[in-house]
Structure 1
Amino acid sequence: MPDESTRAAVRAPRRVLPVIVLAQLAGTSTWFAANAVMPELQAAFGWPATAVGTLTSAVQLGFIAGALLFALLAVADRFAARLVFLVCALAGAGCAAMARQHAADFDALLVWRTLGGFCLAGIYPVGMKLAALWFPRGLGPALGLLIGALILGSASPHALRALSAGWPWSVVFDGVALASAAAGLLVFLLVPEPPHPRASGSGLPLRALWAAATDRRVRASILGYFGHMWELYTMWVLVPAVLATRLAGASLSWAAFVVLGAGAVGCAGGGWAASRWGSARVAGIQLATSGLCCLLAPWLLHAPAPLFGAWLVLWGITVAGDSPQFSALTATNAPPALVGSVLTLANSIGFGISIASIQLFVAAAARWPLETVVPALAIGPLLGLIALRPLLTRGAGPR
């Protein structure tokens, strides 16, 4: 296997990073497709308000299962990463098409959304792996761009719904299916296989569990990430309901895209700031800011329109902007031989936490006003900041 200096000496073609970023954006567009048309699906089929939480959690559960299985079988190491990306992107497109076809049957839709989440485990993490192998010494900025692309991709169904206002809701599923298929073809045709031989390892080692549990710095970044995940996806699910208190139709869809997509600014800006002040400080500042946005909800939900909009955009920027920094902190502090395993375990548990949070808050929002429910999201950022203290007080974190 080539060492780090040999890999770094191999220059990536200029097109590689833009293609991976674009493919990441298009490939993850299936993630929130159902959320973008949920009011129409509920009106058409009589589903309860809690259906949005169930369908979102199904995607999260599928992603967890896929991430763990791919790691246990070392799929992206045993096979060409770009081939894995292609197969999963095409399969994800098929799942989106089948979800559209069977949307009237809630149980069938639930199955296809779960399978779609499984396919996303071969898109998002594999795209990051391709970037890591091509840019071993420039991963920080690349990571910010990739996670920013994930955020824009997740928000894109709302933009697609705004653009297709007046057309049937099925256009959104058709659009994301085409985008996912195009993403797979882009990577397979335009991204060369990285200078890294395929492995024959056994996959996810149990030592990663011990490393995460016993290393103080690894534990701090992972627990901070868990606090972040308590808030992130639940906020994304609740944003349309928050906007629906003032907007409707295409205006609501455009606003949802802007608020959710603003996280890409947080990722890019956070990467720039982390190179100067460290990932721990940047993650801590963004986590504290998003937590404050939760606590201020009772007042800002009823604020004048400019203040209401500024609050949601700031929340969108900071709720997602710390994601690359938590990944960077964990990758830097984990034992080098276990980085992939520790990240896989942390991501899987984090997405499990997001399922619990989504289910809890969607059910609560169906019973109580948003100004009563939203402030409780700050529990995650608060616990995350407490967990980060060992890295913050020591000025730790990659630069």
Structure 2
Amino acid sequence: MTTFLHRHALASIVLAQLFGTSLWFSVNGVGLSLSRDLGFSEADLGRLTLTVQAGFILGTLSIAASGLADRFRASRIFAVSCLLGALLNAGFVLAADAPVASLLLRFATGLCLAGIYPLGMKLVIGWTPTHKGAALAWLVGMLTLGTALPHLLRGTTLGLPWEWTLLGASLLALAGGGIIHLLGDGPHLPPPAGPTRLQEGLAGLRAPRFRAVAGGYFGHCWELYALWMLTPFLVARELGRLGAPMDLVPWLSFGVIALGFLGCVGGGELSRRLGSLWVARRALATSGLICLAYPLLYGAPPGLLLVLLGIWGLTVIADSPQFSALAAATAPHARVGSTLAVMNAVGFALTIPAISLTTSLWAAQGGWVLWWLLPGPILGLWAMRRL
């Protein structure tokens, strides 16, 4: 088994990433069931997502500042994070109707995700040093599929209690951790750099080209996770207008978000010929135009809006791996690690007000709430104007 995994290291890592990141939006996958059975509002679901984001940010900064990833094997941190995350995610089943406990469990799950997604990038570097760009596109694509996976799990367990979906995500995370435990670290990992000094990362923002890339990435983050959070609500509205069964909501929500996988991989192939900047700009501009147009077309035929939502899901994440590649290329060489850690932390921090704002206003504003996401693409493109 170990020899097989070593022979297919990249495939093993991206599969484990898919399974591990299914914990991220596991609760959102059963959001409609929680609303029906436990009376959760859109704002309640938004708060649960916010706590995951907050845990991920704190975990990422803690791992970077402590040098934890340099003192322990990346594969071990990944596997332990999957194990703990799976247990915490399963614990939500018992605490869903206890507001404080459920929020704490989701926050702790976010902490565990900080040992899965970023460490997956490190594992890719260790196993595929000559194909980082293409491998990164696959890795972000699997993060996208992992985000969508709880909706697919819910679709396949319709008629069963919503708890089965969360337990299914936990089992997948355990499998992902097991794969990486058997795979181990690659032979090409760079030497330990010691604990990251986060103040050096902030200083890295003084570099004009990196600051421009970071600005584009921040705008991308403002839009991305809030859209993923709202996707089931947008899908449910159009199905309601069609008179279609609500059982289709998880299937179509999975489809919309999962299309981002094709956007990542397709963008990665285009970047080989046209460059990462070309792909990032056009993906961000396309998602921004859809963000502008969607509320204006709110009375259009439901099928048209579902197609438009699918195109949005395709393009909204396609720029993410390209921003990562651009950031690595433009960050000050002496402090790449700290600079990227700060950029990622700031980007994910911006998802918190975006999700909070849109979910709290959804009941009052409906589809018009999407315009609150529009500043992300606009300001991101403006920041990139001189690249």
TM-score bracket, normalised by the shorter chain, equals: over 0.9
C-alpha deviation, 1:107, in angstroms: 1.4
Taking the aligned partners of 2:236 and 2:18, their CA distance within structure 1 comes to: 26
Alignment of 1:16-165 (within 5 A): 16-165=9-158
RMSD over aligned Cα atoms = 1.5
CA 48–13 in structure 1, closer or farther in 2 if over 3 Å, else same:
closer
Taking the aligned partners of 1:250 and 1:205, their CA distance within structure 2 comes to: 46
Match of 1:321 in 2: 318
1:378 matched to 2:371? The reply is no
Taking the aligned partners of 1:47 and 1:192, their CA distance within structure 2 comes to: 42
Q: 2:216 aligns with which of 211, 224, 230?
A: 224
Cα deviation digits, residues 203-242 of structure 1 (max 9, x gap): 3342221112x10110000011000011000000111111
Q: What residue ranges of structure 2 are gaps of 5+ in the alignment?
A: 240-244
C-alpha deviation, 1:136, in angstroms: 2.4
Whether the aligned pair in 1 keeps the contact of 2:129 and 2:188 (CA below 8 Å) is no
Cα deviation digits, residues 47-103 of structure 1 (max 9, x gap): 333111101101000000100000011111111110010110101101111111211
Whether the aligned pair in 1 keeps the contact of 2:198 and 2:339 (CA below 8 Å) is no
Match of 2:298 in 1: 301
Cα deviation digits, residues 367-391 of structure 1 (max 9, x gap): 2231x22123111000000001111
C-alpha deviation, 1:198, in angstroms: 5.8
Equivalenced residues, count: 378
C-alpha deviation, 1:134, in angstroms: 2.2
Taking the aligned partners of 1:70 and 1:120, their CA distance within structure 2 comes to: 11
Q: Which moved more, 1:107-116 or 1:195-204?
A: 195-204
Match of 2:242 in 1: none
Taking the aligned partners of 2:37 and 2:70, their CA distance within structure 1 comes to: 44
CA 197–171 in structure 1, closer or farther in 2 if over 3 Å, else same:
same
1:312 matched to 2:304? The reply is no
Q: 1:281 aligns with which of 278, 291, 312?
A: 278
Amino acid across the alignment from 1:98 = G
1:240 matched to 2:232? The reply is yes
Cα deviation digits, residues 281-329 of structure 1 (max 9, x gap): 1101000000111111124333224422220111001111110011111
Match of 2:176 in 1: 183
C-alpha deviation, 1:139, in angstroms: 0.5
C-alpha deviation, 1:45, in angstroms: 2.1
Match of 2:250 in 1: 253
Q: 1:360 aligns with which of 357, 365, 368?
A: 357
Whether the aligned pair in 2 keeps the contact of 1:78 and 1:198 (CA below 8 Å) is no
Taking the aligned partners of 2:247 and 2:197, their CA distance within structure 1 comes to: 45
CA 376–192 in structure 1, closer or farther in 2 if over 3 Å, else same:
closer
C-alpha deviation, 1:170, in angstroms: 0.1
Cα deviation digits, residues 11-55 of structure 1 (max 9, x gap): x94311000000000000011111111122122222333111101
Taking the aligned partners of 1:172 and 1:358, their CA distance within structure 2 comes to: 23
CA 203–150 in structure 1, closer or farther in 2 if over 3 Å, else same:
same
Whether the aligned pair in 2 keeps the contact of 1:86 and 1:188 (CA below 8 Å) is yes
Length-normalised TM-score, structure 1: 0.92
Q: What residue ranges of structure 1 are gaps of 5+ in the alignment?
A: 1-11, 392-399
Amino acid across the alignment from 2:27 = A
Taking the aligned partners of 1:47 and 1:129, their CA distance within structure 2 comes to: 38
Amino acid across the alignment from 1:142 = A
Taking the aligned partners of 1:136 and 1:359, their CA distance within structure 2 comes to: 39
Amino acid across the alignment from 1:262 = L
Cα deviation digits, residues 252-275 of structure 1 (max 9, x gap): 110000000111111001111111
Amino acid across the alignment from 1:187 = I
C-alpha deviation, 1:339, in angstroms: 1.9
Match of 1:394 in 2: none
Q: Which moved more, 1:347-356 or 1:99-108?
A: 99-108
C-alpha deviation, 1:192, in angstroms: 4.1
1:390 matched to 2:386? The reply is yes
Q: Which moved more, 1:241-250 or 1:59-68?
A: 241-250
Q: Which moved more, 1:309-318 or 1:139-148?
A: 309-318
Amino acid across the alignment from 2:369 = V
Taking the aligned partners of 1:152 and 1:200, their CA distance within structure 2 comes to: 32
